[in-house]
Amino acid sequence: MTWNEWLLDPNPKSRAQSRAGQAWLQWLRFRRNHLAMAGLFITLALVLAAIFAPWIAPHDPIAQSLADRLQPPLTPGHLMGTDDFGRDILSRILYGSRITLYIVGLVILTAPVAGLIIGTVAGYFGGWVDAVLMRITDIFLAFPKLILALALVAVLGKGMENAVLAIALTSWPPYARVARAETLTVRNSDYIAAVRLQGAGATRIIWGHVMPMCLPSVIIRVTLDMAGIILTAAGLGFLGLGVQPPDPEWGVMISAGRKFLFEQWWVATMPGLAIFLVSLGFNLMGDGLRDVLDPKGAR
């Protein structure tokens, strides 16, 4: 039996084989979506650029060379030109991908987890627990994300760590709403009643049976929210409240280049194009994952 036949076996011999076969079918469905594959390619390019930045960046991203300041794109040795301190823009964008990926990764490890826990607990118990948790969620949702993040950073102080914390604190409410909606649809299901009759407690039911049902929707929401996280982080950097110079964060680069926008357009345009491309990639990949993972919209 070949590997493909083992994955597509209609009568799997084990749970692992069944899950592997299901994952393979989802990958085949995802691969048929050309836009989703383009988004996956852009995302992988971002990850590879972040990993191999020290080897593929042609210059030190922080080293200044005033003799080479404001060189246009395609200048020998500077493919994307240089900024007002003579720093190579391509090298700064490559190293900036590390900062972007770091911020996105930390937010993903915190906000969706908190939202998933709050949403499943609220949806499972209902009553006053649901009312209290959802009213707290509504308070956070009442403020625009960037405005609330600005207020939190103003209280916590400048810096990348505080920016990540502020973005995470403003990003969890949508995940709580999604998880609560999914929990309300499954909490009265027959299999949940059967597990409850076997003596399982609320913690075991939520952790082992409700949360796994909510994960596909949360994963879809995460991929679609990555672009918003990047834009919020860049906005904080642009306003001087996030990552601080001379670190090569894309929002900081746009802020530094805005005063040269009409004559030396590349200083702000190149990092802006990087933000646009990466945000587009995450959105395209998220749309593809929604088609694959959402059982209600599966085709």
Asked if residue 94 has pLDDT above 70, the reply is yes
Asked if residue 10 has pLDDT above 50, the reply is yes
**What values do phi and psi take at 297, rounded to 5?**
-110, 5
Mean of the pLDDT values across residues 81-90?
Answer: 92
Confidence class of residue 241 from pLDDT cuts 50, 70 and 90?
confident
Q: Output the pLDDT for position 89.
A: 94
- Which tens digits make up the pLDDT trace of 59-77? 999 989 888 899 999 989 8
Residues sharing a CB contact under 8 Å with residue 188, sequence separation 6 or more, in sequence order: none
Q: Which two tokens stand for residue 237?
A: 């950097």
Domain boundaries, the chain: 34-293
Question: 8-17, 109-118, 231-240: which has the minimum mean pLDDT?
Answer: 8-17
CA 43, CA 279: separation in Å to the nearest integer? Answer: 9
Q: Which two tokens stand for residue 82?
A: 């240089």
What is the percentage of the chain residues whose pLDDT exceeds 70?
98
Q: Output the pLDDT for position 295.
A: 53
CA 174, CA 119: separation in Å to the nearest integer? Answer: 9
Average pLDDT for the chain: 88
Q: What is the largest CA-CA distance in the chain?
A: 77
Contact 213, 182 (CB under 8 A): yes
**What values do phi and psi take at 276, rounded to 5?**
-60, -45
Q: Output the pLDDT for position 90.
A: 94
- Which tens digits make up the pLDDT trace of 252-291? 999 999 888 888 999 999 999 999 999 999 999 988 888 8
Mean of the pLDDT values across residues 143-159?
Answer: 84
Higher pLDDT, 293 or 211: 211
Confidence class of residue 96 from pLDDT cuts 50, 70 and 90?
very high
CB-count exposure of residue 11 (10 Å: 0-12, 13-18, 19+)? exposed
Whether CATH 3.40.50.720 fits 34-293: no
- Which tens digits make up the pLDDT trace of 11-59? 777 878 888 888 888 888 889 999 999 999 999 999 999 999 999 999 9
Confidence class of residue 2 from pLDDT cuts 50, 70 and 90?
confident
Contact 75, 63 (CB under 8 A): no
Confidence class of residue 220 from pLDDT cuts 50, 70 and 90?
confident
